């Protein structure tokens, strides 16, 4: 597996990206990390290890106020996150491959669904412990972070609340015909409620497929890690 670090032009908010690729590829997965993580997360690296063995490149990027973008003035809000996702998808289609899939972890999974709404050319979605009810998830995260982070999360929650149906992925999936969505989640996740994930699946069981494991939000047990690896491999069968 080879790796290139790059910057994607986005006006005043250049986006740092990491491209993982093999000797050849005809598909690209745009990957989004979760809150407080970065484009170089271990879960994305594991995705890349398997994807590049299956003629698929992985392009991951940092959300605002994360990773190499912590020094930027860009604010972590849904408008910026959605615009950044659209910019990276457009870059991938122009510079890499026509076929684009999306991978998202936790809050990144939520951004994938909101930010790609109406993009019917997405091949598929791969979502790890998705924050489908972001207000509930971020409210739990607030208990584990500093006062400065708490204020940032409070503003993000207010924005999502004010957005109403435009930011409600349950409503969006009912309204728009998303491509197939594969989800892996933990039955003992400390942030994501499994009932919210199963309620999401019930909207359209023909398009939404669930895999469950343990290991908490980070898949920290050997069994959970094995399940995650199997889930990744199955995505390319």
Residue 97 · residue 122 · CB < 8 Å? no
Strand partners, 122: 100
- Residue 63 is given by DSSP the state P
Give tens-digit pLDDT for 206-230.
Answer: 999 999 999 999 999 999 999 999 9
- For domain 2-134+169-230, give the fold: Rossmann fold (3.40.50)
Kindly give the confidence (pLDDT) of every residue in the chain, 237 residues in length, as a single tens digit, with 9 standing for 90 and above: 999 999 998 887 789 899 999 999 999 999 999 999 999 999 999 999 999 999 999 999 999 989 888 777 788 999 999 999 999 999 999 999 999 999 999 999 999 999 999 899 999 999 999 999 999 999 999 998 888 889 989 999 999 999 999 999 999 999 998 999 999 999 999 999 999 999 999 999 999 999 999 999 999 999 999 999 999 999 998
For the sheet with 15-21, list strands across it: 2-8, 15-21, 56-61, 27-32, 100-105, 122-128, 181-186, 208-213
Give tens-digit pLDDT for 152-162.
Answer: 899 999 999 99
Angle at 116 between CA 111 and CA 122, to 5 degrees: 125
């Amino acid at each position: 597996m080879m790796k290139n670090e790059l910057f994607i032009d986005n006006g005043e908010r250049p986006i740092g990206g990491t491209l993982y690729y093999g000797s050849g590829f005809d598909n690209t997965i745009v990957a989004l990390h979760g809150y407080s993580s970065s484009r170089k997360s271990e879960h994305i690296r594991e995705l890349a290890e398997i994807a590049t063995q299956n003629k698929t490149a992985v392009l991951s990027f940092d959300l605002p106020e994360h990773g190499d973008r912590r020094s930027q003035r860009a604010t972590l809000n849904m408008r910026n996150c959605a615009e950044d996702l659209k910019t990276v998808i457009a870059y991938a289609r122009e510079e890499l491959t026509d076929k684009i899939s999306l991978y998202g972890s936790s809050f990144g999974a939520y951004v994938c669904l909101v930010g790609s709404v109406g993009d019917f050319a997405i091949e598929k979605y791969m979502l790890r412990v998705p924050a489908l009810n972001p207000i509930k998830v971020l409210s739990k995260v607030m208990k584990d972070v500093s006062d400065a982070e708490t204020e940032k999360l409070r503003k993000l929650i207010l924005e999502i609340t004010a957005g109403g149906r435009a930011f409600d992925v349950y409503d969006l999936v009912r309204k728009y015909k998303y491509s197939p969505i594969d989800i892996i989640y933990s039955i003992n996740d400390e942030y994501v409620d499994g009932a919210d994930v199963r309620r999401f699946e019930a909207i359209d069981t023909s398009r939404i497929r669930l895999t469950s494991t343990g290991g908490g939000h980070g898949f920290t047990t050997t069994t959970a890690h094995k399940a995650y690896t199997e889930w990744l491999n199955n995505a390319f069968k």
